Structure 1
């Protein structure tokens, strides 16, 4: 049984715990007075003889007995004498010796009648051992015990991926269970998979991390997926207790500049992996995504629309937070913050906290930001209310103050770079791109640089703007990326500097995406086909898009660090067509030459280029038709090595393409017959994993259904192999996970209780 020091509980949490323990011990109900500058009463109970007992809770876990005694003499003893209760009971989170208890009985005599009416830390732990249901019902208490933390650290250390235990552990005292928590937990308990969706800042990541943390405490080992679902498949062990976590899981898979991921069955791979988790006896899977990203993915993928994704979804909304829960969120952040007393007093003054709680833009992320002293320390306490009001009224400014006033030029350049280098944020890749931007601006604006600018600035950004995981850098949340990217819409120099120093094609393409996403006079001017822009495009259009390294088996593996060559070609075609620019049209051939030399030619990507040409009338009329014919010839020539997903892409294209000729049909028919006769069976033999078998079967079913082709015998053969593989995986360990009990207290929901709650901050 764990021993608790109660340091991670707020005064409100501690009072709730004492109330629950005394209810269980006395078998009597207690009336709770929410903490505040009261008359010396926190709890009130009535015994069978109708005698009243008043209980005082003093949450002093990190002080000394002499300080507690001085406080009781000065503040509480006069109140107790005035009330003259029949029975006075004192509970404190401070450890007490027998001599300490005698002193307290003597201080409050005759109201504190016996030593057994004094509950120090050790006695409270004894009550917890006697009433285990109270412990399991108190989620935060259980998660912060020493024994639980030891299990969490052990399981995180033996994980094959990085899980930031300390960072998540710091969030536990701040966490307030809302209405979405039991919904997410129930979905996870029932199906082993939960997809947490919601708007930015609503608390998706925190909810996911609390569920993950609780599983680690029960013996699960974390697998944090950073790069893509293939990473999860590689680390999946059906015989082990694993909890997979994929934050913003749709963020890369469904980016518009990478349609080849869908063409290559990444949507199917995701659904198959989710199904593998569902069938396993001991694994679980937590995913998060922005709600609008989820809607975009569903519109892009028929498989996701008709798959099980939505059935696993838990939508987190602001209405999931009651008035009392919002109050607890604000209270917890202030109680555990490093804000000096003057700032907390500013929140309490004039019941300003009510305005915060009821504000239309209230969300957990804003509260986290506003309660961080490092972010507001240059705002005097006297101006704190005004500062909070301004940020609540305009949440978009949440990052602006720190960006303008609290980070260096080198730090700002790191953020600009990170916002445009989309494919990899490995530290050295980020630094290389940052270096060119920083040096470019240093010469242009005449400021000094030092060798340690990057390292120092990156360290200063950590925790406020960026986070580190597995040697990679990413924004601390998606709203920071939104903020930084929006700066390019409002300041032309930011865009000019980025274009002048770009080392990745994606850096310029991101600006183009921002321009198309929302009209901006600034971006329109920056992205006109001027000489500097054309020179920059020529410079980056041929840079490598993959970074190669060897995996644990010695195999060469490529990691994306930039847009793929076919994606670059599509971007230039559309851009030239939109602007009717002959200069941009001239870059189409350069992009095409690079595509041919890059060894990254694959059928789904090339078909996307054909579609782009067919919908770009100006380019098609100015040389694009010849390019279309040449690419079509390449695609048809590749059909001899085509896989199932390639054939599905060709069938889909063939059904709607305007450029499909009789000659194309004849070559297609010849290659397709060869595939049906031999190629499809060779592909079955090449499937080594369950997900490969399922993906191939599902793709053949798609072709069979959508294009009236018959693959019944092959599908039957695949189903036999799938069942055989599943049976071999079912010999795993049982999932002995115990569901988390929902907290008994949702928070003080009436306004008077909230007033008393915040009174305890003073």
Structure 2
């Protein structure tokens, strides 16, 4: 980037003071400390040197005239005269442009305060920045506003939320406040190559992540933001370009599984493992930044083995955001006021009293709510803004209530549809189809998007396709709450679904889940949609059956043609289990009714049996993998309280699974030799042992000896290097084979007893550690800095 020539107008008074501190420390080779903010008695910064005390005063007055600076200098001279100790050197730093004669006049005004007096203006600050570029990188608020910086970001990175993500960073940077967690996160990322930022909604996870992105972009790293194409992950991670990857809301935006991809958790685990393996150099070439809401992380650990392993892998990389210190909250609030309120009358009002103390100490204080309220209103009345802030903190969900209720019905249905879809990225056609049956006088989809764009909805275009997202996760919280108390809105939403997968998220949100002890800003209940779905049970279940039948009708021709494979059959099977499960889950809403309509389940099971008979499976591995997919479905289903009619249906489905295995004699891979066949069988059975045991089926040995199978299993375990995992499930593995594996057991024992093997902590201990503070917050050496004078600086500076 070009030599600095900043006007420093993008900095708040506190930002300017920190910049001046860093520049003076670097220039003088001594450490300046921030004395206090505000009514400081003439001291902003001070340093103790061998020659004596050095005091610096910082005046962020970028547009000040010479006369104003002289007046300010006279006031400072009177303050310094009252100090008990006379400084050896006094430095007056201003962001204003000053000429040599201006500098001399201000210095003469301060001549009596110290043995040596220095006056530095904008030119001096830029000159020192050019000599210390690492400080320029850290103080990113200086350079982020430039068009050149934005253009370079777009050229050098892959922003799958497009330019809107960069523009958001550019818009939000003014409000950003650097604090201890930023330093901790930066240190963790530098040392490990990975950082996971966790916390409650609105705690500032994304703000810190974007700060880290900017730091590494300025060091020459390519930026990859929210990549959805898994294949590209491996392409980017294997090339030679230094890269930082950013996965925002890694395992879901407002609940686990928002990403909607079947294999996503496994892909993320493998990707994290790959990034960590590559970070063996002193300067990592591949970095990974992730964020997650704390309640989503709870669900992730509980529901996903792959995600649990990933979190074990990065146990030392987690940085938790709790409640920020009052000083940090105050500076965030101040920055929002400073850059969001321009009316001079309102600013004078906001500079009075101590109202900010009530805001930053509020139990629901959140930077996000502060941002939303100020952005929404552009208040010309300071008192009205204060009241709005307090009311919104008292009832956070209503931040969006008045705006939503004022929208046309079509717009409301569009947003409600988006709230139960993947709110991070929905193709326009998929969303538009959900609204085709809604009558509107407002010109339909395009007009609604135009009305909602920027406030409720964001749009990006990738390869000619428009994708839509809710602009803020808190909007989704509000919309979910709205659906929970509006049966009519929920019924319309159900009736307008187009595919079976449209209903799955709605039904899933209505199931009871255990989320005890989770931190929640918007207090979403464990079974928030359960009551409203009970009210709409008839409409919901009829639509579920109808849409699932459409899915079966669409897939059956594939099986009839002889092209249906095991995975497709498993997905179809899982769909039927979901339908049955949703009926069981809604049973309490129809205590006197039939759980499954007469004859319906028999017909669907018969059709599924036909599909199973036509399924093409070529290897034992493919068959075993298919059974595991079915087992995963049954495992979830079996945990629920099931009505007798559905329990009987479950037995029939299990019989189908066993017949599915027994009616096949899948061939081994085409590799010749008993050893190769044994290796394939060993892998398939070890990886799918639980499913084989559940369905009481045994693998066919195809003439191979039990000794050769045992040797193949032992080799598999030895190569994996994870004996702890196998010892926990070894009895299940032996049960799946139907015979003992003595050589494999010896291999496990040998690995566990070896001197170079470190026993990892138990899984229970690891899970508990996820939710404890991983990095201790630094304790300030001095008491909390007063901020009253910082807010009082909101009042415009009066010219003489």
TM-score by length of 1: 0.74
Deviations 1:583-634 (A, max 9, x none): 6445545765479769899433322444466664523455443343224322
Comparing 307-316 with 47-56, greater Cα deviation is found at: 47-56
- The answer to whether 1:568 aligns with 2:568 is no
- The answer to whether 1:452 aligns with 2:446 is yes
Residue aligning to 1:723: none
For residue 219 of structure 2, give the secondary structure of its aligned residue in structure 1: coil
Residue aligning to 1:336: 339
Residue aligning to 2:286: 283
Structure 2 portions without partners, runs of 5+? 513-524, 556-566, 617-624, 669-679, 735-740, 749-777, 796-800
Comparing 131-140 with 209-218, greater Cα deviation is found at: 131-140
Residue aligning to 1:362: 365
Taking a change above 3 Å as real, the CA distance of residues 111 and 638 of structure 1, as seen in their structure-2 partners, is farther
Residue aligning to 1:739: none
In 2: Cα distance, 1:746 partner to 1:469 partner = 46
Indicate conservation of the 8 Å contact 2:351/2:793, yes or no.
no
Task: Report 1:428-507 matches (<5 A).
Answer: 428-436=428-436, 439-440=437-438, 442=439, 447-450=441-444, 452-461=446-455, 466=458, 468=460, 470=462, 471-507=466-502
Residue aligning to 2:755: none
Taking a change above 3 Å as real, the CA distance of residues 486 and 564 of structure 1, as seen in their structure-2 partners, is farther
For residue 575 of structure 2, give the secondary structure of its aligned residue in structure 1: helix
Indicate conservation of the 8 Å contact 2:686/2:733, yes or no.
no
Residue aligning to 2:172: 171
Residue aligning to 2:9: 7
In 1: Cα distance, 2:194 partner to 2:731 partner = 29
Pick the structure with more helix per residue: 1
Task: Report 1:413-432 matches (<5 A).
Answer: 413-422=413-422, 425-432=425-432
Indicate conservation of the 8 Å contact 2:573/2:608, yes or no.
no
- The answer to whether 1:603 aligns with 2:627 is yes
Deviations 1:276-321 (A, max 9, x none): 44457521111222223323333344565456434243232324x3
Deviations 1:35-82 (A, max 9, x none): 65888775678998879877452331xx4xxx6346447x63763686
Task: Report 1:270-669 matches (<5 A).
Answer: 270=271, 272-278=273-279, 282-302=285-305, 305=308, 308-319=312-323, 321-338=324-341, 340-372=343-375, 375-377=376-378, 380-405=381-406, 407-422=407-422, 425-436=425-436, 439-440=437-438, 442=439, 447-450=441-444, 452-461=446-455, 466=458, 468=460, 470=462, 471-517=466-512, 523-524=530-531, 526-527=533-534, 532-542=539-549, 565-578=572-585, 579=587, 582=594, 584-585=596-597, 588=601, 593=607, 602-611=626-635, 616-620=642-646, 623-637=649-663, 640=666, 647-648=685-686, 650-655=688-693, 657=694, 660=696, 664-665=697-698, 668-669=699-700
Comparing 177-186 with 493-502, greater Cα deviation is found at: 177-186
Residue aligning to 1:737: none
Shift of 1:168: 2.0
Deviations 1:475-534 (A, max 9, x none): 344333222112111111110110121113344333333332358798535445765434
Residue aligning to 2:128: 127
Shift of 1:459: 1.8
Shift of 1:9: 1.6
For residue 177 of structure 1, give the secondary structure of its aligned residue in structure 2: coil
Shift of 1:677: 8.2
In 1: Cα distance, 2:300 partner to 2:241 partner = 31
Residue aligning to 1:750: 784
Residue aligning to 1:552: none
In 2: Cα distance, 1:207 partner to 1:155 partner = 21
In 2: Cα distance, 1:211 partner to 1:607 partner = 42
Taking a change above 3 Å as real, the CA distance of residues 44 and 293 of structure 1, as seen in their structure-2 partners, is closer
Indicate conservation of the 8 Å contact 1:575/1:584, yes or no.
no
In 2: Cα distance, 1:45 partner to 1:587 partner = 82
Shift of 1:450: 4.0
Shift of 1:329: 1.6
In 1: Cα distance, 2:403 partner to 2:80 partner = 53
In 2: Cα distance, 1:672 partner to 1:216 partner = 59
Taking a change above 3 Å as real, the CA distance of residues 28 and 237 of structure 1, as seen in their structure-2 partners, is closer
How many pairs align?
Answer: 683
- Of structures 1 and 2, the one scoring higher in RCO (CA 8 A, sep 6+) is 1
Residue aligning to 2:519: none
Indicate conservation of the 8 Å contact 1:91/1:118, yes or no.
yes
Taking a change above 3 Å as real, the CA distance of residues 640 and 305 of structure 1, as seen in their structure-2 partners, is same
Taking a change above 3 Å as real, the CA distance of residues 707 and 750 of structure 1, as seen in their structure-2 partners, is same
Shift of 1:236: 2.2
Select 2:75's aligned residue among 75, 79, 85: 79
Taking a change above 3 Å as real, the CA distance of residues 514 and 104 of structure 1, as seen in their structure-2 partners, is same
Indicate conservation of the 8 Å contact 2:42/2:80, yes or no.
no
Shift of 1:389: 0.9
In 1: Cα distance, 2:372 partner to 2:791 partner = 19
Residue aligning to 1:720: none
In 1: Cα distance, 2:331 partner to 2:22 partner = 18
TM-score by length of 2: 0.71
Taking a change above 3 Å as real, the CA distance of residues 189 and 583 of structure 1, as seen in their structure-2 partners, is same
For residue 288 of structure 2, give the secondary structure of its aligned residue in structure 1: strand
For residue 234 of structure 2, give the secondary structure of its aligned residue in structure 1: helix
Taking a change above 3 Å as real, the CA distance of residues 428 and 11 of structure 1, as seen in their structure-2 partners, is same
Task: Report 1:33-72 matches (<5 A).
Answer: 36=38, 55=57, 57-60=59-62, 63=63, 68-69=65-66, 71-72=68-69
Deviations 1:722-761 (A, max 9, x none): xxxxxxxxxxxxxxxxxxxxxx99899535x311111112
Indicate conservation of the 8 Å contact 1:704/1:711, yes or no.
no
Taking a change above 3 Å as real, the CA distance of residues 519 and 55 of structure 1, as seen in their structure-2 partners, is closer
Indicate conservation of the 8 Å contact 1:2/1:146, yes or no.
no
Residue aligning to 1:195: 196
CA RMSD after TM alignment: 5.1
Indicate conservation of the 8 Å contact 2:341/2:347, yes or no.
no
Structure 1 portions without partners, runs of 5+? 549-559, 685-692, 717-743
In 2: Cα distance, 1:103 partner to 1:70 partner = 9
